[in-house]
Chains A and B, each alone.
Chain A
Amino acid sequence: MELDPVMLARIQFAFTIIFHIIFPTFTIGLSAYIATLCVMWMRTGLERYRSLARFWTKIFAVSFAMGVVSGIVLSYQFGTNWSRFSVVTGNVIGPMIGYEVMVAFFLEATFLGVLLFGWDRVPPWLHTMAAIIVATGTLLSSFTILSANSWMQTPAGFEMRDGIAFPVDWLAIIFNPSFPYRLAHMVTAAYLTTSFVVLAVGARYLLSGQQLDHGRTMLRMGVGFAAIVAPLQLFIGDQHGLNTLKHQPLKIAAIEAHWDGSKPGDLVLFAWPDEKTESNRFAITIPNGAALLLTHSWDGLFPGLKSVPPEDRPPVLPPFFAFRIMVGIGLLMIAAAWCGLILWRRGDLFNTRWYLWPLKHAWWTGFVAVICGWVVTETGRQPWVAYGILRTGDAASPVAVNAVATSLVLFVIVYSIVFAMGIYYINRLITRGPDDPLVEQAGRAAPVPSMSARGGAG
């Protein structure tokens, strides 16, 4: 089989960005959680908030490091593998990525040093401040990067000259039509994902009978948060979907596996969409369900895949299945959070094993939902890399196919090792728990000035 360089570059980008998004998702949520813990520690003076904050800061550091190094890779891959994309859209996309580094990344990376090593070096208020700055930095990062991504989905505020995009109106570029929805959806997803990691760790402690006090604190905070935010996410996701229908109807058609736009869409619960026959096999449907959801009318119409020739359609299988997995996880999260709320009211939250056991094993669910969400939106944008401006097939770099194959293999090897080790170490940290001397010590003995040092810094 002849290797296709564009396909290889796409696989490489997909692989590296899926690997990357796991860590920002976690650190966006975790930085906010740590900042919350720090503020509560300041307000109540309770030691348990401080030791929890310190514990999660260590885990944050490991995740942030993996996020930083995999993020550097991405900022260069636009050039190494997608140089045509950089030339065509650089005038518009470039500043968004530039601002991300300048406003957010520097802020996070620099103040992380204070957050990690400053426990005994700076006063509590400054430490709390650093936690809030890091959390704000991750939000600013999301803002700029999601703005850039949204522009690729729903470009606005530009004009094309000689095949190259030029900026006309920066506000229209930044606040392009899909951006507010995507931002809300992703930030909420990050918070929700992290809350389920916190819940899983809390459940784990309660089940094993260790760190009971910390376990209870985390469970209370997690259940309370998720019970409100998980249903909210369903609403935000729905609004995001309606916005997509307006601007990228074919993506919605692929999600719903809706081929014929002249009939009201059925809600396809399960099927195997067949791109050759342009129909769904083994379909289980709710008649007119999709029409009702998307157009709020029983016989409302929305465009089908067959409204454009096959070469202008996105692939159907990835958005179709990824969407169902994402929504399924979201619904399970709502159920889990409300179930927890009921148990809490009954006073059984901390001793119901049938509830805690699945919760303990559900730490990864949010990450899968986030990755699936991105698969939906990115494959649903195809065959375009920048919607209506540049096709993915025209965006790649003039790099030899063997070079791309080599780099892809290297990425898979290195990332697999790093990921496995990262999970292993984070798991070790969790096993040790917040009260372990190693965790307790972490950061305390940051480079301390010795006898010969100048006095000013200590």
Chain B
Amino acid sequence: MEAYLPIIWAGIIGFAVAMYVILDGFDLGIGILFPFAATEQERDLMMNSVAPFWDGNETWLVFGGAGMLVAFPRAYSIILPAMYLPVIIMLLSLVFRGVAFEFRWLGVTAKRWSVPFAAGSILAAFCQGLILGGLIQGVKVENGAFAGGTFDWLTPFSLLCGCSLVCGYALLGATWLIMKTDGAIEDRARDHAKTLLAVMLIFMAIVSVWTPLAIDRIAERWFTLPNFLFVWWIPAATALVAFATWRWLETGREALPFIGTIMLFLLGFLGLVVSSFPYLVPPSLTIWDTAAAPATQIFMLMGALIMFPIIIGYTIFVYWTFGGKVGEGEGYH
């Protein structure tokens, strides 16, 4: 049992990260698309489409942080100092865009908070990409503590990951808008989504080629037998889903483009898991090296087994309560 605990916890945290990326991804995406809206009324409507959900969505980020602390305290205490500046800037960006939800309609002009909302969303997404890129390329560890420099994470690769994530979240946001709005906003979101899908696929392709070329352990993981026999379907499925999403965008489907984008994200995430597992702090520490005491993981697991179904249940309830399209001219404030 004890050897499996870290695997279970890696699964739970992986699930939380995936939930966060998808849920906060689309509401960050709305912010990223803010500069491209035609009028402030459109921006109002875009924001209304995510307003009831954003608090709950960001809670997954808090859970990601707390979950790491609970289950893998040693990884938590290495990754965060290593990514110090991107983490801090991401958090501050989230502060700005988060309060914009409440402040925007209270201001003399709504416009005043449009810029911080957009800038905060873009910067938060970009920093999350930097952190991801920095983590994939590896962290310098000595004696179980971070031993690198302040800017170790800053490389062309991590910058590329930053741009990819901004683009990916924007795609999630655009397909969300297709599903939740109609009229001019939906049409424009559809145009944006096509461009963004193309750009995101290019980014995904570059990352997929770059990582095995630059990092031997990743090349070995994917391109040796028998591994390749188990993983070849991931890029194949990605191509298939991408094609389908494109078709759905072309044929005017409402909800399917969003679902297709989510699947693209999940496949990308799966690819990263294949590349890095079982390392939590590549290239040196595995999930077993960094795990908390079994008693801690078990105690928390009991709570997670009870609470996760409940959390998912009421999350669905709230999304259902606020289902349907946001009507034109029916601003929330």
Question: Residues of A with Cβ closer than 8 Å to B?
Answer: 61-62, 64-66, 68-73, 75-76, 78-81, 83-84, 86-87, 90-95, 97-103, 105-114, 116-118, 121-122, 166-167, 170, 397-400, 402-403, 406-407, 410-411, 414-415, 418, 421-422, 425, 428-429, 438, 441-443, 445-454, 456-458
Contacts and interface: CB of A to CB of B under 8 A. Distances in A.
A450 B182 contact: yes
B96 A457 contact: no
Interface string B100-123: 011101110000000000000000
B85 A406 contact: yes
Contact of B91 (A76, A103, A113, A122): A76
Contact of B304 (A64, A102, A113): A102
Given A76-B87, A95-B70, A457 B321 contact: yes
Contact of B87 (A80, A103, A170): A80
Contacts of B77: 79, 83-84, 86-87, 90, 397
A107 to B, nearest CB: 8
A75 B322 contact: no
Interface of B: 48-49, 51-53, 55-56, 58-59, 61-63, 65-71, 73-74, 76-81, 84-85, 87-89, 91-92, 94-96, 98-99, 101-103, 105-107, 144-147, 149-150, 180, 182, 292-293, 295-296, 299-300, 303-304, 307-308, 311, 314-315, 318, 320-328, 330-333
Contacts of A422: 99, 103
Contacts of B63: 98, 101-102, 105-106
Given A78-B69, A94-B292, A122-B321, A410 B92 contact: yes
A358 to B, nearest CB: 28
Contacts of B87: 76, 80
8 contacts: A80-B80, A93-B69, A103-B303, A113-B318, A425-B106, A445-B332, A446-B52, A449-B323
Given A106-B307, A109-B59, A398-B145, 16 more contacts: A65-B55, A76-B91, A79-B76, A81-B81, A83-B146, A90-B69, A90-B76, A91-B295, A105-B63, A109-B56, A407-B88, A425-B103, A443-B332, A450-B327, A452-B325, A456-B324
Given A72-B62, A452-B182, A402 B150 contact: yes
Contact of A106 (B49, B56, B106): B56
Contacts of B327: 447-451, 453
B303 A98 contact: yes
B65 A79 contact: yes
Contacts of A108: 55
Contacts of A98: 63, 66-67, 69-70, 300, 303
A147 B295 CA distance: 18
A445 B331 contact: yes
Contacts of B52: 113-114, 116-117, 446-447
Contact of A65 (B88, B89, B99): B99
A110 B330 contact: no
Contacts of A95: 70, 296, 299-300, 303
Nearest to A417: B96
Contacts of A429: 106
Contacts of A83: 76-78, 80-81, 145-146
Contacts of A73: 91-92, 95
B73 A86 contact: yes
A62 B299 CA distance: 35
A109 B55 contact: yes
A402 to B, nearest CB: 7
B250 to A, nearest CB: 20
A421 B73 CA distance: 36
Contacts, number: 281
A235 B133 CA distance: 54
Given A97-B66, A101-B63, A167-B293, A117 B51 contact: yes
Contacts of A111: 314, 318
B292 A91 contact: yes
Contact of A75 (B66, B74, B147, B307): B66
A110 B325 contact: no
A110 B323 contact: no
Given A79-B81, A80-B81, A72 B296 contact: no
Given A95-B300, A403-B85, A448-B327, A121 B56 contact: no
B150 A399 contact: yes
A450 B292 CA distance: 50
| B68, B80, B98, B103 interface centre (most CB from chain A within 10 Å) | B80
A103 B332 CA distance: 29
Contacts of A87: 73-74, 77, 144
B102 A65 contact: yes
Contacts of B55: 64-65, 68, 108-110, 112-113
A91 to B, nearest CB: 4
Contacts of A78: 69, 76
B315 A447 contact: no
Given A167-B293, A452-B182, A457 B66 contact: no
Contacts of A99: 300, 303
A457 to B, nearest CB: 4
B330 A400 contact: no
A410 to B, nearest CB: 6
A91 B297 CA distance: 8
Given A98-B300, A110-B314, A117-B322, A414 B333 contact: no
A448 B300 CA distance: 39
B314 A62 contact: no
A415 B92 CA distance: 9
A94 B307 CA distance: 17
Contacts of B320: 456-457
Given A65-B99, A101-B63, A447 B322 contact: yes
Contacts of A442: 105, 333
B300 A454 contact: no
A428 to B, nearest CB: 6
Nearest to A108: B55
A65 B105 CA distance: 14
Contacts of A403: 84-85, 150
Contacts of A92: 296
B11 to A, nearest CB: 15
